[in-house]
């Protein structure tokens, strides 16, 4: 079942524009361009970077996070008067370990103090975001945070068929909460490959526990998809969901391997007693199991891509 926009989602949309009281969602000026990808980082549950690369598919962005989240994001442009003031990304997770998340990622194009325009020349290949505004709602709990990363621009022709799709908000929508002032954060962009130097064994174990739980949720969703549309199937929607779950599982597995590597490094540097050796042996065994699982994913993706292409072609020929 596909999620539909709710009053809570409408509140998220409105909150994203509250920082510009006179703003409206409008069309993209011809001088501006749509990022072909967005490298984004936000804070995870254990205060570690949670990073993702959003990839433009011609209509929206596909994104997966290491915690098993799978999201679709649309892009809209906010104007203040006649001037473009912000870029806003709307996220909705319909599948994945945190299905039901709705969020708004806002990048203000003007510096709050000097009002200096932040967008670089139209021929620039990327733009850094240092203190974007993130409003996220999940299971009735709302959070106001910041995000950072890089907007990456591809060829102009990649966006020739795109048109901004403003949301139609329900009449009489009321905000359940008020947005606080934007949080201050480090000005340097954090790429998805970065790691947190503040990690310690306790934080690594806590994060691994969360990622293990997310992996079990993704595995359960995959099992359900196999029941709903067993192979071989021509259900393009189901095949795409399977593909997104597989991509999320890949990111989750890579992150767990990286954390286990760091855990083993901590164990090597610590006291060399029997308990530490046992923990290191168990971690090394788990790492090899994850690496073996990671090697199976490319074949799974290739089969899904082939089946998806056949399903889409069959749909076009009808």
DSSP 158: G
What CA–CA distance (Å, rounded) separates 49 from 40?
A: 10
Task: State which H helix or E strand residue 48 sits in.
Answer: none
Indicate whether this model's pTM tops 0.85. no
Token readout for 285 is: 């065994």
Parallel/antiparallel/unpaired status of strands 35-43 and 49-56:
antiparallel
- Asked if residues 75 and 89 have their Cβ atoms less than 8 Å apart, the reply is yes
Query: Facing residues of 128 across strands?
Result: 150
Determine the Cα–Cα distance for residues 275 and 270; give it in Å rounded to an integer. 11
Which residue is listed with tokens 């990363």? 149
Q: How far is CA 81 from CA 18, 22, 314, in A?
A: 15, 7, 46
* Gap between the terminal Cα atoms of the chain: 24
d(CA 119, CA 122): 8
Q: Percent helix, strand and coil across the chain, each rounded to 5?
A: 40, 25, 35
Pairwise CA distance, residues 8 & 13, whole Å = 9
pLDDT at 31: 40
Instruction: Give pLDDT tens digits along the chain (318 positions).
Output: 344 444 444 444 444 444 333 333 334 444 457 889 999 999 877 677 899 999 999 889 999 999 999 999 999 887 766 777 788 899 999 999 999 899 999 988 764 444 444 444 445 688 888 888 898 888 888 888 899 999 998 765 444 444 444 433 333 333 333 333 333 333 333 333 334 445 688 888 888 888 898 899 899 999 998 898 888 888 888 898 898 999 999 989 998 998 999 899 988 888 888 888 999 999 999 999 999 999 999 999 999 999 989 888 887 776
Strands 141-153 and 49-56: unpaired
pLDDT at 189: 35
Give the ranges where the chain is alpha helix by DSSP (H).
7-17, 201-228, 236-269, 274-317
CB neighbour list of residue 220: distance below 8 Å, 6 or more residues apart: none
* Neighbouring-strand partners of residue 70: 64, 95
How confident is the model at residue 121, as a pLDDT? 41
Alpha-carbon distance of 243 to 64, in angstroms, equals: 11
Report how far residue 217's alpha carbon sits from residue 205's, in angstroms, rounded to the nearest whole number: 19
Q: Which residue has the tokens 């194009």?
A: 109
Element (H, E) at 174: none
């Amino acid at each position: 079942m596909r999620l539909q926009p709710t009053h809570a989602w409408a509140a998220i949309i409105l909150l994203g524009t509250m920082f510009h009281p006179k703003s409206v969602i409008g069309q993209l000026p011809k001088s501006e361009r749509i990022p072909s990808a967005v490298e984004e980082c936000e804070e995870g549950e254990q205060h570690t970077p949670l990073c993702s690369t959003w990839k433009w598919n011609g209509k929206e962005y596909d994104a997966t996070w290491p915690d098993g989240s799978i999201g679709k994001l649309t892009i809209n442009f906010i104007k203040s008067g006649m001037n473009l003031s912000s870029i806003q990304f709307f996220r909705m997770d319909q599948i994945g370990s945190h299905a039901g998340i709705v969020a708004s990622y806002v990048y203000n194009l003007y510096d709050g103090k000097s009002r200096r325009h932040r967008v670089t020349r139209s021929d620039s290949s990327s733009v850094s975001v240092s203190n974007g505004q993130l409003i996220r709602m999940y299971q009735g709990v709302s959070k106001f945070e910041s995000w950072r990363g890089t907007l990456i621009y591809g060829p102009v022709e990649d966006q020739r068929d795109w048109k901004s799709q403003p949301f139609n908000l329900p009449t009489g929508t009321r905000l359940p909460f008020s947005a606080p002032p934007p949080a201050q954060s480090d000005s340097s962009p954090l790429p998805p490959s970065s790691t947190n130097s503040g990690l310690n064994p306790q934080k690594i174990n806590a994060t691994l526990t969360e990622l293990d739980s997310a992996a079990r949720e993704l595995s359960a969703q995959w099992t359900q998809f196999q029941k709903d549309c067993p192979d071989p199937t021509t259900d393009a929607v189901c095949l795409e969901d399977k593909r997104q779950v597989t991509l999320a599982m890949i990111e989750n597995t890579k992150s767990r391997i990286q954390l286990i590597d760091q855990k083993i490094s901590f164990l090597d540097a610590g006291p060399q007693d029997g308990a530490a050796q046992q923990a290191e042996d168990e971690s090394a065994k788990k790492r090899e199991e994850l690496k073996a699982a990671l090697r199976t994913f490319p074949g799974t993706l290739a089969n899904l891509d082939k089946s998806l292409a056949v399903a889409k072609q069959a749909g076009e020929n009808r």
